[in-house]
Structure 1
């Protein structure tokens, strides 16, 4: 009887160890698979006139985000502006770029990878009654800006300016060694036929 009990206990112990080892191996495989857990980050920023912009970023992966923007305290607008499957947010700020007394929201995004390209998002305040998305032309839409452009941008939000700087690449330059100098672009907010436009109005090369 005692022998049977000992054999039974040994069997149970061996089975338990085998199960634990299997679970640990499964866990290590999942951890090393590179799976990314989606995270949500909320921000809010207030303008000098008391309007509030809330900014929600869902980080789907390390390189892909879903962004939602909503204004608060605007009497004629509370729409949510959704920008899905886009680059992660790098920074954001409010500023009165067109000097009309009402601040806009500006966001810079950066593409992960060797080029680290920057994109801009803008949301205007329409005299604090409503808000709407600003049209921001890409660098590729402007021949002067796109010549020699391969990313590596830096964007600075000052009190009255948005300034983008980036290295200029010549035809045979490698990604790590641009030789064409540095280009600086300043932006202004202008009114177009369908709304506001973030316009590159001053370009200099050094």
Structure 2
């Protein structure tokens, strides 16, 4: 009898200890000052503590989230209120998100440490930036100007207006054979550029992402590979319309990101491709790997995820 009583008391003490050590997340409601669409937080978390940033938004608004942590085990997730799945999982997809929100409501950006780091009671200092833009935010005439560098090759990426048309200019530096500028006409506006080495061959690629305002307009990718650091050649991305699985319910509004060694394309899923179809509230993610094709570099479709 004493043994059973002792076991019961031990269980009660254990449960009490677990309850006592459960950490309530730090919650902040995100508000934007009048005339501003961006806000930054410079904060920290430790161990099991998580930080939640709650944003109210409308369907179609563009949410951009960037996390710069001091600890590589720190990530963020994005979840819609009442949803039983994450709209974005940072531990899989990286520390950058930009995309249209599928429905009206409240969205939570949660910053956390991976379980092993949390158990070791590690600390993560971080800068978190949130930007919430109207659905037509990409309809901007502001020029894009950014310089990126990887593996000794530099890319100066700019946009300019020529004869009332928007043009993308890429100026490479450091290539052994040809550092000529490349120009490309654009239908949308450049929102971001990234350098990566998706095929891990020691030579970088440049990925430039553009968006066009409005429903039914696809995102735009301009990409080049530095062939053995000698010259640039274009990377081909097949259109979604050529892929039956990916194209179901597709009506544009894409956003792109480089996540580890794949290119990720995300877009909201509509009930059909008809102009009057409504959103399903889900997002589709298509992952591509860089491969050498017969006539050049190609992004081959891999996994397709709906969430």
Which whole-Å CA distance do the structure 1 matches of 2:161 and 2:299 have between them?
A: 26
Q: Counterpart of 2:152?
A: 50
Q: Counterpart of 2:27?
A: none
Indicate conservation of the 8 Å contact 1:39/1:60, yes or no.
no
Q: Counterpart of 2:98?
A: none
Alignment match of 2:263 (pick from 162, 167, 172): 162
- RMSD, matched Cα: 2.8
Give the secondary structure class of the aligned counterpart of 1:162: strand
Q: How does 1:143-154 map to 2 (within 5 A)?
A: 143-154=244-255
Indicate conservation of the 8 Å contact 1:55/1:67, yes or no.
yes
TM-score after normalising by structure 1: 0.71
Q: How does 1:29-178 map to 2 (within 5 A)?
A: 40-47=143-150, 49-59=151-161, 65-115=166-216, 117-171=218-272, 177-178=278-279
Which whole-Å CA distance do the structure 1 matches of 2:304 and 2:147 have between them?
A: 32
Which whole-Å CA distance do the structure 1 matches of 2:273 and 2:230 have between them?
A: 51
More helix by share: 1
Cα drift, residue 80 of structure 1: 2.2
Cα 1:102–1:83 shift into 2, 3 Å = same
Cα drift, residue 41 of structure 1: 4.0
Structure of greater Rg: 1
Cα 1:60–1:114 shift into 2, 3 Å = farther
Q: Counterpart of 1:21?
A: none
Cα drift, residue 103 of structure 1: 1.6
Q: Which has the higher contact order (CA 8 A, sep 6+)?
A: 2
Which whole-Å CA distance do the structure 2 matches of 1:86 and 1:199 have between them?
A: 24
Cα drift, residue 115 of structure 1: 4.1
Which whole-Å CA distance do the structure 2 matches of 1:172 and 1:190 have between them?
A: 30
Cα drift, residue 89 of structure 1: 0.4
Cα 1:61–1:139 shift into 2, 3 Å = farther
Give the secondary structure class of the aligned counterpart of 2:246: helix
Q: When the two structures are aligned, how many residues end up with a matched partner?
A: 168
Cα drift, residue 114 of structure 1: 3.4
More strand by share: 2
Cα drift, residue 180 of structure 1: 7.0
Indicate conservation of the 8 Å contact 1:51/1:71, yes or no.
yes
TM-score after normalising by structure 2: 0.49
Unaligned runs of 5+ in 2: 1-140
The more displaced of 68-77 and 165-174 is 165-174
